[in-house]
Structures are given as structure tokens and as C-alpha cells.
A and B are shown apart, each in its own frame.
Chain A
Amino acid sequence: MSQGVLAIAEQIDGVFRKVTFEAISEGKRLAESLGGPLTVVVMGAGIEAAAGELAVYGPDKIIVADDAALADYLTDAYTNVVADVVAQQSPAAIVLGASSIGKDLAARLAARLDAPVAMDCTALRVDNGAIVATRPVYGGKLLAEVALNGTPQIVAIRPNAMAISETTGAGVVEKVAVNVGDVKLTFVEKALETGKIELTEADVIVSGGRGMGGSDYTVVEELAAALNAAVGASRSAVDEGWRPHADQVGQTGKTVAPNLYIACGISGAIQHLAGMSSSKTIVAINKDEDAPIFAKADYGIVGDLFEIIPQITAEVKKLKG
């Protein structure tokens, strides 16, 4: 019989994504509700030592699939390995981070296992032994509650949505024999931007829109640096070519929910509002006092962003001394 929870860790070059800690923490809470142990599976090459770091989130067991063929994410190889672990453990639920890679793996795994899956969940509850997931749809314009029926119940949790909790667990690390199986994909290369804070994981985001008037984002970048924040952009700024596609916040870009979102020169098109309105605190700076963004903002400033933002940056620096 299916029992317990399997959490899938995500790492690049031995460094875990923050959402992995959230997924294991949520897995622990799910295991308490559903009953049974929490097992974490870590896939990669030369990751045994790093895998031990995950013990602080309370898993009963950490399964390490360490193989050169798993050095970088390949959908088919990773799906094959997780499917083997699932066959051995028969978990009632599988939880992983809804990163770009996590969503791909969750989809392939759900199809392989003929299992229910809910992507980008912002809350989970257990109702009569089955998971009900809350997830934003229509880019965040609505929230759906989705009941999962079948096993294992796969949930990919949205980065920044669930709490990280350190707790105790047996944390036994067990290295398993790896059979990557039939693999058609080949890894060629990767390019990582170092030092850039990922929008979906950022605690603070400073975004610039059409009001920036051009590709010079210096004032926004300086405020972001002072706040240790990620830089975002509205769709119109991206369409103008001022910022890369990866920076776009909104229904056709990234949906974000940081602790603090500062919208600079963003009027607040419905697609943008959908993508950021679950942020905890929202600040809007815009010269147009009728801009729709002000209706969603906790704090609004009407004025010239090129005058106001540098002053905010100065105040923040003063505060952080």
C-alpha cells in the first residue's frame, strides 16, 4: 500500500534551489497529515556530501542517486530514476519545486505513473486522506482548488509560497544503485548567470515599466542592489527590448509573490497585476495618479521616478548603514 511522502530535490552543480527546502518542509507537513515517512531523493553527480545538508528539514531518509549520467538535468534520465524510486517506496504523495525543471519532471512523471498532478501550488491541505491543492490560474487572476484522485499524488509547489522549517528526522543517507534506463536526450552545455537573483525566488523585487522611458535601468538597479532585490520588468518594457524576456513579470511572463514588490513607472495592465498582486507588500511609483497600479498598492507615490527612486535608495542605504 502507498505510504509516506517522497520529496524530489533540485540542484545545479551541487547547490540546491531554495524551493527544494520549501518542498522538503512541505513534504514533512504532508507526511504528518497523510502518515508514513518522508523520503528525499537527490539526483546528480558527486552530490552525496551535499545531500546530507537536507537532513535539517527532517526527512526520515535521503536517497542519493549519484551517477555521471545525472550530472545535469535530462527529463528522461531523471524520470526513469524517480520512477524506480517510486516503485520501491510506493509513496502516497510526491512533492517537488515548481521550477522550470521541476514542472517538466512533474509532468513527465505524472504521465509515466498515470498519476494526478497539480502544478504551481501555493497551498496544500489534506482532505479525507487526499491532497487538495490551491493554485493560481489565468496568470493569478483566479485561484483554483484542485482535488487529486489516485496515487501517487504529485504536487509541484510554487517557489516562495511555502515556509521552510528546520526540524529533526532520522535523516539516514542511503546511496542507491542507479539505472538511468533508456535516455534519448544529450546534455550539450549550460550557461548560468552568476550572482543574479532569480525573480521567482526573490524576497524583494524592483520592477520598471514603460515609465523608464528607455533601456537605462540604472536607478532601478541601484535600488535593487541596496535592497538585495531582483530586477523585474513589465511586458511593455520587454517588448521595447529594454529588458530580457526572463525579467518579465505578468501573465505571459513570470508570476511572482515576493515579500516586497516595488513597481516603478508601471501603469498596471491587468496581465501585470495578475502576475504580482499576491506580493505581500506592494509599492507603486508613477507620475500618473490615475494609474491602475495604485489600486493594488499598499503605498503609492505620485511623482517622477527618476527623482524619487534615487532618494529611496539613499534612505535604504542610510538605514542599512
Chain B
Amino acid sequence: MDIVVLLKQVPSTESMVRVADDGLTIKTDDVKWVMNPYDEFAVEEALRIKDAQGGTVTILSVGGDKVVEAIRTGLAMGADKGVLINDPAALATDSMGIATVLAAALKEMNCDLIIAGQRAVDDDNYLVGTAVAEKLSLPNISMVVKAEITDGKIKCRRTIEGGTLVLEAPLPALFTTQRGLNEPRYASLPGIMKAKKKPLETKTLADIGLSADDLGNAKTKIIALQPPPERSGGRMIEGDDAAAKAAALVQALREEAKAI
């Protein structure tokens, strides 16, 4: 089973994100960059499948030089090799453009299974995995909490609002991860040492048979980025005891906020 994990490097969720002076991007000086949390589930699941069935796990990402760190983290967890598409044209496109790049890279990789995070926790687009599957004419299953592979088929339980669906697809296929799929391992010290020697290839668009023209003009463009409106100051509910505070709160919710 040859598995490719699609990975994105994102600001850690502990990071404060602040809008840069251009009003369109974020300030990156004090951002801590990490592997997208949903991609950690993807790497972990790929490693578990490899442990059970043999094969290889390859990490594939699109991004600039610093993304090497996130790929190395995946290698330190146990993946076999990494591929980074690092090209100015790929960095300037939107999520659908990234899906085009990933699909072109995957065409040459001939894998049996692709695993991606359901979304990246920076742009929250919920787009790339599913779009890659469409571009490769592969079946996809999103937000998976359980995956079983037998006889060239994958059976997945996916979440929907208020429940789950179980779906089956022939391989090759793509699925995206949901919280609950597994508990991602931490990279061990020997794993980190080994990762330094694992192959990590950097490619340009030309290397995967694409040109900047293939990406064209991005169909979506961020034209403004700002923090949500500040919440106006609230007030503390005082009272002699729990009952008095509760009564004052419920009265305020009913009469002032009209929330109940």
C-alpha cells in the first residue's frame, strides 16, 4: 500500500494572528509554524495502515522553504520520504490552484491511497482534498473517523451533523481526516535523528509538468482581512449567593439581551 499524505504548514492554533500592513495577509514575525493538526491525523493513519499492510508513506506539500520543517516532522513520525513543490507561481495561487498543483504531482506518484486533513486551520477552506480527488477522478470520503482497508477497497465511517455515514470506495481513493480518527504519535528523538537522513525532494512546477499559465489567475482573491468586531465590554453579575446571581442573570438575559 503506497500512501501519500497531503500536508500543509499553518500557524499553530495557540498563535495570535494579526493582520499585516497590506491588510490582506497576516504578520508572520512571531508566528509559530506547525503541521496542520488535521494533517497529523493523516500522517498517523497512514503510518498505521503501513504498519498493518506494508508499503510506503510519502508526504507531499506545496509551499516555501520553511515548509521543509513540517515535512521533517512527518518524516520524524515515521513517514518514508517527502516531496515539496516550491515554486513562486504555486505560492501565489488560491486553494483550487494548490489542488491543481497537488493533483499534477500525484499523477506521477501512482499511489493507492491519499489522505489529507479535512481542512487547514488557517484558511479553513475545506477544499483541497476533495478537489484533488475530483481532478484525479478518484472517489473521496470526507471527515473520516474510521478507515478499514480490505481487498482493494476502503470502508470509512464519516461524520455528518448529528451522526455518521459509512461509505465504501475502490482504491485508489482519497479520504480526509476528522478528529477522533486516531491519536497522533509524537516524533521520538531517534525518529527525529532518522528523519534528517530521509529523502526530501524539492520540485518546481516544471518538474511536475505544469507551468504558471496552467494555474491561470486565481478564481478567488482575498480583498480584505480584519479581526472580527470587538465585543463591547460586558458586566459581572453580583449577588449575595448563587440563587441571587442566577436570578439576576436570567432577568438580564430576558429583559436586556432578549436571549431567552
Contact = CB atoms under 8 A, between A and B. Distances in A.
Contacts of A148: 219-220
Contacts of B123: 137, 144
Given A117-B96, A192-B163, A108 B131 contact: yes
B163 A312 contact: no
Contacts of A308: 242, 245-246
Given A245-B179, A298-B234, A312 B140 contact: no
Interface residues on B, range: 35 or more
A107 B174 CA distance: 14
A178 interface: no
A303 B243 CA distance: 11
Contacts of A99: 160-161
Contact of A143 (B121, B179, B225, B247): B225
A5 B180 CA distance: 37
B168 A186 contact: yes
Interface residues on A, range: 35 or more
B158 to A, nearest CB: 8
B169 A185 contact: yes
A216 B125 CA distance: 35
Given A117-B220, A282-B234, A299-B249, A191 B164 contact: yes
B252 interface: yes
B109 to A, nearest CB: 19
Interface string A80-116: 0000000000000000001111011001101110111
B231 interface: yes
Contact of B234 (A187, A196, A200, A299): A299
Contact of B162 (A119, A187, A193, A316): A193
A53 B162 CA distance: 22
Interface string B10-23: 01011011010000
A176 to B, nearest CB: 23
B124 A188 contact: no
Contacts of B242: 303-304, 307-308, 311
A82 B256 CA distance: 46
B91 interface: no
B52 interface: no
A107 B242 CA distance: 49
A48 to B, nearest CB: 23
Nearest to B251: A315
Interface in A149-169: 149-150
A147 to B, nearest CB: 5
A145 B221 CA distance: 8
Contact of B135 (A111, A118, A188): A111
Majority-rule SS of B interface residues:
mixed
A315 B243 CA distance: 9
A302 interface: yes
A187 B167 contact: yes
A231 B55 CA distance: 42
B163 A299 contact: no
Nearest to A159: B161
A142 B26 contact: yes
B227 interface: yes
A316 B250 contact: yes
Nearest to A246: B159
Interface in B178-212: 178-180
B37 interface: yes
Given A145-B223, A191-B163, A110 B246 contact: no
B130 interface: yes
B253 A271 contact: no
Given A72-B165, A147-B221, A311-B246, A300 B236 contact: yes
Interface stretch (A21-29, A33-41, A207-215, A248-256): A248-256
A136 interface: yes
A196 B162 CA distance: 7
A120 interface: yes
Interface string A257-275: 0011000000001110000
Nearest to A228: B260
A244 B178 CA distance: 12
Given A139-B124, A190-B166, A316-B250, A260 B222 contact: no
Contacts of A299: 234-237, 249, 252-253, 257
Given A143-B225, A281-B259, A108 B17 contact: no
The 5 A-B residue pairs whose C-beta atoms are closest, nearest first, are A311-B246, A116-B219, A107-B130, A111-B134, A192-B163
Given A298-B234, A300-B235, 9 more contacts: A139-B13, A148-B220, A149-B218, A149-B219, A204-B260, A251-B13, A295-B231, A311-B247, A312-B246
14 contacts: A98-B126, A100-B158, A103-B142, A104-B142, A139-B121, A141-B228, A201-B161, A245-B145, A281-B257, A299-B257, A303-B245, A304-B242, A308-B245, A315-B246
